Amino acid sequence: MATSCSGRRNIQGHPCFGGDHRKNGRIHLAVAPRCTIKCAYCTRKHDCVNESRPGVASRILTPQEALEQVRGVMASETLSSIIKVVGIAGPGDPLANEETFETFRLVGGEFPHLVKCLSTNGLLLPETVDRLGALGLGSLTITINALYPAVGAKIYSHVFYQGKRYSGAEGASLLIANQLEGLARAADLGIVVKVNTVLIPGVNDGQIEAISRKVKELGAAVMNVMPLIPQADMAHVAPPSPEYLEEVRTIGERVIGQFRNCRQCRADAVGLIGEDGVGSRCAVPAAGG
């Protein structure tokens, strides 16, 4: 994996990290159904074909099927010139699924020029980040919605970790510690890190500036504040208005660059962000990639 002069891996052109999203696209491989935590806003579906949002995929692929899908897409004249990134982002947590690692191994062996990208809740990062580094992961997204366990407890009802179930502030505390440790270690390896934060009015909006400072300090390159999609246990929570979202991003921008083109895409999106074309129902996390 090539690195830039800053020591970061070369992910030039990545549409979710400041590359030209009108020219460069990604393929998401929905190989990861299982998850180890429960976010209050998450509803995962594997059979949905008419919704466009994170956590949704038409069908779970095996690693071999995922490789075949990449072959198919890269054989298409139109798509092969667009696709720069192969991402695994769900519909569960990629790190809770061994298939994620096998898929990157297979796809990386045949298409080494595609940037390998992964999106995770971060719980299992401390124990997997070295494997990801060795597989040549170029970019990593960690969804961090809280810095303080008391706030996290309102978002994460429970966390399964090393065979035990932790709920409330205890679970949130464990998750947050692993997210921050994983972020720092990934950045040390040269993996380019983005932090996604779901803006949940009345729950975590007081934390966004603190999150941006902390993740910048630990080595994140960019942040993506995404509006809550009200569903599941947060179906009753009003999402932020576009104006409020922009206000929060502008505050965050004083600390760390903000990605503003996220379309909260599906776990099986293919093509340009927001314009998924051919194969968009073939194969991202429930909180966005």
Q: Where along the sequence are the contacts to ligand CLF (CB under 6 A)?
A: 16, 26, 28, 54, 85, 87, 89, 117, 119, 141, 224, 262-265, 273, 284, 288-289
Report, in Å, the least distance between residue 117 CB and ligand CLF.
Answer: 3
Report, in Å, the least distance between residue 262 CB and ligand CLF.
Answer: 3
Report, in Å, the least distance between residue 44 CB and ligand SF4.
Answer: 6
95 binds, among ligand SF4, ligand CLF, none (CB under 5 to 8 A by kind): none
Which of 9, 26, 44, 53 forms a contact with ligand SF4 (CB under 6 A)?
Answer: 44
Report, in Å, the least distance between residue 166 CB and ligand CLF.
Answer: 27
Three-state secondary structure string covering the chain = CCECCCCCECCCCCCCCCCCCCCCEEEECCCECCCCEEECCCCCECCCCCCCCCCECCCCCCHHHHHHHHHHHHHCHHHHCCEEEEEECCECCHHHCHHHHHHHHHHHHHCCCCEEEEEECCCCHHHHHHHHHHCCCCEEEEECCCCCHHHHHHHEEEEEECCEEEEHHHHHHHHHHHHHHHHHHHHHCCCEEEEEEEECCCCCCCCHHHHHHHHHHHCCCEEEEEECCCCHHHCCCCCCCHHHHHHHHHHHHCCCCECCCCCCCCCCCEEECCEECCCCCCCCCCCCC
Which of 21, 53, 93, 116 forms a contact with ligand SF4 (CB under 6 A)?
Answer: 93
Q: Given the rule CB under 6 A, which of 12-20, 31-39, 204-212, 235-243 is the region that contacts ligand SF4?
A: 31-39
Q: Does 38 bind ligand SF4 (CB under 6 A)?
A: yes
Report, in Å, the least distance between residue 264 CB and ligand CLF.
Answer: 5
Complex with ligand SF4: residue 11 or 39, whichever CB lies closer: 39
Which of 58, 100, 121, 204 forms a contact with ligand SF4 (CB under 6 A)?
Answer: 121
Q: Does 48 bind ligand SF4 (CB under 6 A)?
A: no
CA–CA gap between residue 137 and residue 75 (Å, rounded): 23
224 binds, among ligand CLF, ligand SF4, none (CB under 5 to 8 A by kind): ligand CLF
Q: Does 267 bind ligand SF4 (CB under 6 A)?
A: no
